[in-house]
Chain A
Amino acid sequence: MTQPEINIPQKVLKYETFLNDVLKEQLKKIHHKLDYLTTEVAEYNQVKQFIDTMKKANLQDDGLKTQVDIGCSFFIESKIEDPCRININVGCGIWVDLSLEEAIFVINKRMRYLESQMAIYEDQSSTTKAHIKMVLLGLAELQKM
């Protein structure tokens, strides 16, 4: 009974450093990764929607005219040569030339992978949050003693 009383300020300090330097940093890192994954998924989603529209429009023969941004919102008109082929970034900076169906398949696969990763990070995030809560409770108990 006497020992914890002697060590209380030291213990409180230890708990606080652990809370701020370890747990909160960890949480920050996890959230950073989650953010990155969310944007990634959103980008793939956008491409998927584009492909869907392309399929519905059914532009097989005479190509597709579009405006390409050449920087600072200056656009030049361009003509897509083959609306049936699309290059997809499959990660690690590798681009693959695919047909629209293949592209959708690849994108779905990629999105599933990203979502599984997101689930892992979300799990980690809630674990870390629980740890933080526990440390806070421990701190409150220590300071009450």
Chain B
Amino acid sequence: MDPNQATFALEHQLISGLIQNRETTDIWEKRKKAHEELKGNLSFYAQKMKHRIFAPLGKKAMMKAELIHTNEITVSLGAGWFVKVSAKDAMEICHRRIAECDEMLRKCETERALFESRRDARLRNEAFGGKEIIEKFDEKEEEKWRDEHKEKVKKHKKALAEVKDKVKQTTTETEEDLWKLLDMLELREELEDEISRLGEEEESDEDESDESEESDGEEYDTGENGMDEEPPKEKKRVRFGLDPVAELHEAPESHPEEPQIVKTTAVKDEISETKPAVGGNLPKSLRPASKFKKSRQGGAE
């Protein structure tokens, strides 16, 4: 059964129980009231020998009559049995019936309190506002994701190796070459960074699979886009490490990745040292994304 449906069924049961309880209470209350009234009437009739009344004949007719033998009362005991008693005894019977009604009303009250407390307790103790937390686990999906993930890691490693090769081959003669080299170094660093981060996630088991899947989507699925967006963030962070705004921006997102930032700073420091020395062109270095793209495309070719 669907868990949501189960809660609904429970709620339904409780409420229908409450409604039924109310109905029973009403019945017993009416009975009690009727008997109390009757008790008063009995003592009234017993006061006189005769009473002139209109005897009802159904609802639509009456006949003039008079009550005689007012101390002789025929009481129905149910199931077609009647007993003839004195007015005093009849009052006793009434009294007993009222006591019975009281007892039943008390029981009804207990039942009502039970139902209500059960219903309220459910609402009060629900830590998540009555919502069930459900995480679906599909073995096939997981398997598929793992395969895809493996493939992507492979691709990534390949890309990294290519970049490394490029870096080795490049000679720094002109300023342009130097920029290219720097970009490639950055790219390499990025890729390495990602690998190490992924490694961590894999170690930290399934509970973070969601998160890694997300980052996966950004960094792998979108390919170039992912590369476009990610690097500037990281670079800014490292290069302008003292910039409080950048720090603030990064803080919530990169919290779990703190360790490898420390790890990679060594490489990044080099860059930040070399950069101003060579170009000193700050605006250019601030927006490295497009260059990045180019250099990467170049690397891929």
Within the complex, which residue of B42, B65, B75, B90 is in contact with A66, where a contact is CB–CB below 8 Å?
B65
Interface residues on B, range: 35 or more
A87 adjacent to B54 (CB under 8 Å): yes
Kindly identify, within residues 80 to 118 of chain A, every residue whose CB is under 8 Å from any CB belonging to chain B: 80-83, 85-89, 95, 103
List the B side residues contacting A67 at CB < 8 Å. 74
List the B side residues contacting A81 at CB < 8 Å. 64-66
Question: 1/0 contact trace for A27-60 toward B, CB 8 Å?
Answer: 0000000000000000110110010000000000
C-alpha gap A31/B82 in the complex (Å): 38
| Known A75-B73, A76-B72; contact A85-B62, beta-carbon cutoff 8 A | no
B38 adjacent to A72 (CB under 8 Å): yes
Confirm or deny: B68 has a beta carbon within 8 angstroms of a beta carbon on chain A: yes
Confirm or deny: A120 has a beta carbon within 8 angstroms of a beta carbon on chain B: no
B58 adjacent to A50 (CB under 8 Å): yes
List the B side residues contacting A44 at CB < 8 Å. 60
Confirm or deny: B12 has a beta carbon within 8 angstroms of a beta carbon on chain A: no
A79 adjacent to B68 (CB under 8 Å): yes
Confirm or deny: B256 has a beta carbon within 8 angstroms of a beta carbon on chain A: no
C-alpha gap A101/B278 in the complex (Å): 129
List the A side residues contacting B68 at CB < 8 Å. 77-79
Confirm or deny: B300 has a beta carbon within 8 angstroms of a beta carbon on chain A: no
Minimal Cβ-Cβ distance residue in B for A71: B38
List the A side residues contacting B20 at CB < 8 Å. none
List the A side residues contacting B58 at CB < 8 Å. 43, 46-47, 50
Confirm or deny: B21 has a beta carbon within 8 angstroms of a beta carbon on chain A: no
Within the complex, which residue of B42, B57, B97 is in contact with A47, where a contact is CB–CB below 8 Å?
B57
Confirm or deny: B221 has a beta carbon within 8 angstroms of a beta carbon on chain A: no
C-alpha gap A89/B59 in the complex (Å): 8
Question: 1/0 contact trace for B26-53 toward A, CB 8 Å?
Answer: 0000010011011001100100000001
| Extra A-B contacts (8), CB below 8 Å, given A47-B57, A71-B41, A87-B63 | A72-B38, A74-B38, A74-B74, A76-B45, A76-B69, A78-B67, A80-B64, A81-B65
29 pairs from A and B in contact (CB 8 Å cutoff): A47-B58, A47-B61, A50-B57, A68-B53, A68-B65, A68-B67, A70-B41, A70-B42, A70-B45, A71-B37, A72-B94, A74-B73, A75-B75, A76-B69, A76-B72, A76-B73, A77-B72, A78-B55, A79-B65, A79-B66, A80-B55, A81-B65, A81-B66, A82-B63, A83-B63, A85-B63, A86-B61, A86-B63, A103-B61
